[in-house]
Structure 1
Amino acid sequence: MAIVLAGAAAGGSLVTPPPAVAHATADAAPTAPTAKAAYDYREVSIPGTGGITLDGNVFVPRTPGPHPAVVFISSWGLEDHEYIAQAARFAEKGYIVLSYTARGFFNSGGGIDVAGPDDVADGSKVIDWLVAHTPVDRSKIGLAGISYGSGFGQLIAAHDERVAAVVAMDTWGDLVESLYANETRHMGAFTLLAGSGLLLGRFSPSTRTILEDFAANRNVPKLIEWGRVRSPGTYRPRLNARKVPIFISNAYGETLFGPNQVLVHFDRLTGPKRLDLSVGDHAMAHATGLLGVDSRTWNDAHRWFDHYLRGQDNGIDREPPIAAEVHWSRKVETYRDVADFTGSYERLALNVPSAKGEGALGRAMPTAAWGKTLRSGQDSGANAGVVILSAGLQTFGIPNQLQTRWISRSTAGIWSTAPLKATKRLRGAPMLDLTVKPSARTATLVSYLYDVDAHGNGRLITHEAHSLLRAAPGKAVRVPIRLQATSFDVPAGHRLMLLIDTKDPIYGDATVPGATITVQSPSAVSLPLG
């Protein structure tokens, strides 16, 4: 995809920016700053590690320095002009703002390293350039980014003590968990990332080898080690030792970086921290802010840097650390910590399915043993939808919905509550405790939790996949499954439905053709009540 860069040549004097700067995507470009702005702007080339050059742009206030600085790192498949609107907002408040394109994409050299050691070293080189070429306050440098750039921010902060604060939007704490949770490959996310990387960038030889291994499901130990090196959680002790202030903003419906691994990472950070949780999928809550539209999460990002880089007493450090948006009502609730967000659990037993193929979810344990046999590798009609799109539409009030009467009862196991007498609050990660008996050594279970109205319309609340890779055929085994966290109110009169099958298009399953897996008693689901 072609990219149009406007402005002065790299290395030239600071100049007023052009009337507009084009994005590397089809999205409408935000209006660039005008000649009346209280800052100057230019395009720059920055030496990266290994002799490559990184493409970037910088805003510098015209008032005397030193100034605090924000460094933006581009998202996957985008480039440094992604943040023009927000960079201008920060510059108007007296920040130096430097944005750069990650290696391997567009006009930046090198090959895509997927937040690896070369990317971390590049981040330090960018800070070197900032110190050498701008009147920056070296003790007040913050890193920020959406998605790909958000992981960079945490990783660079763990390795470079000059980073004073981080804003990480749509980020990850554990890349292994993000792509290979419960020993199940997240093929929808992988296909999107690999395909867009091939189209818009250049993979390094080592990255290409890793992607080929992931696609072929081989060399798994090597894949896991590769992911750990690229996980902010691996370096959490370094972040905690320096008490780096970290603001994380993610969505419940994330199909790239699910909320559970972010909650674990956030919970174990011991420095100043804040977590915003929003309805939707990857980057949806932050996209409007890139266009200059007012945004709750971007406003919090500004407040975070204003406090930790400018010393502004705006109260963000005294607010409850977790702000969680609730599905459909869009109200924002606050919590002291992850335990407070989840609250207590209500345990409901899975009971014997009826002749129609549906069992009850209730507090009473079944009085007799039962089993529901699922044919492996067959899609029941329930699925998590299209990566980013299906959950992303929830940002705009459109649920990921299906008519439950069309679900194949011979392919799926279904358990439902009676119509609720009062609204049921779900806050956190529902947990399954299943007993299963596979007929083959490997198998995959996909579990979904639905909010079902009186007409049988089911809105997907959350889901998760879990693979058994070393099972003993014919032997029952207990399988704990933590569904992805949510904040969802199920209205009175609706039912909660748990559905379990063995196939979903966004996952790479481990099913064996012709095999079966039996869900049997005792099995239960525990609902987080917040």
Structure 2
Amino acid sequence: MMARPNRHPVRRPARLAAAVVLTSLILASCGGSGDSKPEAPRAAVGAAPAAVGTGAAVAARTTKVASFDGTQIVTHFFPAAGLRAGGRAPTVLDGPGWGQPGETDPAAATGSIAPLVAAGYNVVTWDPRGFGGSGGAAHTDYAPFEGRDVAALVAWLARQPETQLDATGDPRVGMVGGSYGGGIQFIAAASDPRVDAIVPSIAWNSLPDSLYPDGVNKAGWAGLLCQIGQSGKNRLDTHVVDSCRAATAFGVPPADVMDWYADHGPAALLGKIRVPTLIIQGTVDTLFPLAQGIRNYQALRGRVPLKMVWFCGGHGECLTNPGPADHTEQLTISWLDRYLRQRQGTATGPGFEYVDDTGTWYGADSYPLAAAGSLAATGQGVLTLDPSMTSGSPTAAAPAAAGTAVEVAVPPPSAAGAIVGAPKLTVAYQGTADPAGAVVYAQLVDTDRHVVVDNQAVPVKLDLDGQRHSVSVDLATVAWHVTPGSHLVLQVVAGSALFAPQNSRGSVSLSLSLTVPLAKAGTPIPAS
């Protein structure tokens, strides 16, 4: 289940940049040659190359495409700028966010259609199964359903006179889209060899790990996603409905529902992808955090032309400098020009790009960056557990109120440096609570700005049976600039509104040991 992200809640995003729930997707993208391999020659039988055409201007149109089971998928076609009858152009499928219909206004300044058609691409948007005017029920980007719906769209596209063809029945087609529109790209590329290039933005690797990290209900997002998915005339598969019932009760869905989500991938399908892939992930995305994109990147690395980009946005709110507003848009167009239009000379930049909290973009050949030491911090304290204690919002962690967290100051570096990775936390603890199975939350706070680093908190499960125990966890992967004047503090809190409320009453003595990795920062990328 995925919402449409943006910087600002309840409005459409700034053009192709993004960060909170209930709004439009990002056409997030970035250039990057990444790990590339020579491209195989295209099949020529029935090929129809790109051409502008000399007839009347081609008009946008809406139709319904029948999927494999007869389900009608509402489909919108927007011709490339300047395309005339008799002409052909490569096409981009642009998928919407969770619970949303496809975009329909090619003139919208904040939409994702306009920059693509202006760049010379036909654009196809659609209402996913179960949403908008399409039939069926949403199965959460499941290959046997939504994956086959996209295959039907590709087959329909191959019959359109404005479509550039690589062979009979094989259109020149790429995909963009964020969140739900990002996840479907992995599914489609793994199952349909006609897809030529993808730009999945703020997507996931594993739905169970995203929605229930370490078995803890990410209730803030679960409630929002269920609200969006069940709004209006939307229709959901019964497994999704069952998971929403569990989310309402702050529990974890039954094992069969968790297995159903796990079967969705795309983790298990990534080995089938053979096309150039630009992965976009948000530093402040608390639904599908950077680790989800990293797993997808690692699975594809060395097998396809690949690039990964981290921007300040996603399912969450960018509270720091996001950098140039059009950077990801430019990178997306460059990626499509290079691998969909197949313009060999198009520069796509380094294989890994990221923006830190200062708004500076950096580039490197690949991820992870070279290590440059670490910062170590230790401390201890007693944490009171009470269901009334919480901090943050359903979509972002925030610093805890004074006196409600165990805090450990992190010593600053001796020189300016970069945290581009995941800090490691070890917790030795002893305490009692009812019930004994408790969850606390760890977050890194920048006290100068009074923000949680990249808005991220992670659950730490404890067994408070009076005995001494130890547990180690990775904090969220972040991108943050540090200097000798930085003031970072580790907070362990009893509750976070990102997750289900604290269920235990009691107290626990904590001994904390934190290692914050420093990285050799990439090369700064000048603003264009």
Same fold (TM over 0.5): yes
- Matches of residues 129-528 of structure 1 in structure 2 within 5 Å? 129-134=156-161, 135-137=163-165, 138=170, 140-200=172-232, 201-216=234-249, 217-239=251-273, 242=274, 244-270=275-301, 271-282=304-315, 295-316=326-347, 319-327=349-357, 329-340=358-369, 343-352=371-380, 372-377=381-386, 383-387=391-395, 406-408=401-403, 411-417=404-410, 422-440=415-433, 441-453=436-448, 458-462=450-454, 463-468=456-461, 471=463, 473-509=465-501, 511-512=503-504, 514-520=505-511, 523-528=513-518
Which secondary structure does the structure 1 equivalent of 2:97 belong to? coil
Normalized per residue, the structure richer in helix is: 1
* CA distance, structure 2, for counterparts of residue 345 and residue 385 of structure 1: 33
Using the aligned pairs only, state the percent identity.
Answer: 21
**Residues 96 and 136, structure 1, Cα contact 8 Å, conserved in 2:** no
Amino acid at match of 2:360: K
**Residues 250 and 276, structure 1, Cα contact 8 Å, conserved in 2:** yes
Q: Name whichever of 244-253 and 202-211 sits farther off.
A: 202-211
Equivalent residue number for residue 121 of structure 2: 95
* CA distance, structure 1, for counterparts of residue 209 and residue 373 of structure 2: 24
Q: Aligned pair in 2 of structure 1 residues 337, 206: CA closer, same or farther (>3 Å)?
A: same
Q: Aligned pair in 2 of structure 1 residues 83, 146: CA closer, same or farther (>3 Å)?
A: farther
* CA distance, structure 1, for counterparts of residue 128 and residue 85 of structure 2: 30
**Residues 200 and 277, structure 2, Cα contact 8 Å, conserved in 1:** yes
Which secondary structure does the structure 2 equivalent of 1:324 belong to? strand
**Residues 388 and 502, structure 2, Cα contact 8 Å, conserved in 1:** no
**Residues 184 and 467, structure 1, Cα contact 8 Å, conserved in 2:** no
| Superposed CA offset, 1:349-396 (max 9, x none) | 4135xxxxxxxxxxxxxxxxxxx2212235666x34342xx58xxxxx
Which secondary structure does the structure 1 equivalent of 2:210 belong to? helix
Which secondary structure does the structure 2 equivalent of 1:439 belong to? strand
Report the CA distance between 1:148 and its aligned residue: 0.7
Report the CA distance between 1:167 and its aligned residue: 1.0
| Superposed CA offset, 1:313-347 (max 9, x none) | 34445x321110111x211101222221x634415
Which secondary structure does the structure 2 equivalent of 1:282 belong to? coil
Report the CA distance between 1:426 and its aligned residue: 1.4
Which secondary structure does the structure 2 equivalent of 1:51 belong to? coil
Amino acid at match of 1:207: V
* CA distance, structure 2, for counterparts of residue 337 and residue 439 of structure 1: 46
Q: Does 2:135 correspond to 1:109? A: yes
| Superposed CA offset, 1:81-136 (max 9, x none) | 26735434433444332110111112111112111231111111111111123434
* CA distance, structure 2, for counterparts of residue 284 and residue 506 of structure 1: 13
Q: Aligned pair in 2 of structure 1 residues 121, 26: CA closer, same or farther (>3 Å)?
A: closer
| Superposed CA offset, 1:214-268 (max 9, x none) | 44425443233222222212211111xx2x2111112111022111121122122
* CA distance, structure 2, for counterparts of residue 490 and residue 219 of structure 1: 40
Which secondary structure does the structure 2 equivalent of 1:306 belong to? helix
**Residues 352 and 363, structure 2, Cα contact 8 Å, conserved in 1:** yes
Equivalent residue number for residue 12 of structure 2: none
Report the CA distance between 1:140 and its aligned residue: 2.2
**Residues 169 and 283, structure 1, Cα contact 8 Å, conserved in 2:** no
* CA distance, structure 1, for counterparts of residue 191 and residue 486 of structure 2: 50
Q: Aligned pair in 2 of structure 1 residues 232, 65: CA closer, same or farther (>3 Å)?
A: farther
Equivalent residue number for residue 29 of structure 2: none
Q: Aligned pair in 2 of structure 1 residues 458, 384: CA closer, same or farther (>3 Å)?
A: same
Equivalent residue number for residue 11 of structure 2: none
Which secondary structure does the structure 2 equivalent of 1:123 belong to? helix
Report the CA distance between 1:468 and its aligned residue: 2.6
**Residues 141 and 184, structure 2, Cα contact 8 Å, conserved in 1:** yes
Which secondary structure does the structure 2 equivalent of 1:236 belong to? helix
* CA distance, structure 2, for counterparts of residue 385 and residue 26 of structure 1: 18
TM-score (norm 2): 0.77
Unaligned stretches of 5+ residues in structure 1: 1-24, 28-35, 286-292, 353-371, 392-399
Unaligned stretches of 5+ residues in structure 2: 1-21, 25-54, 319-323, 521-528
Count matched residues: 444
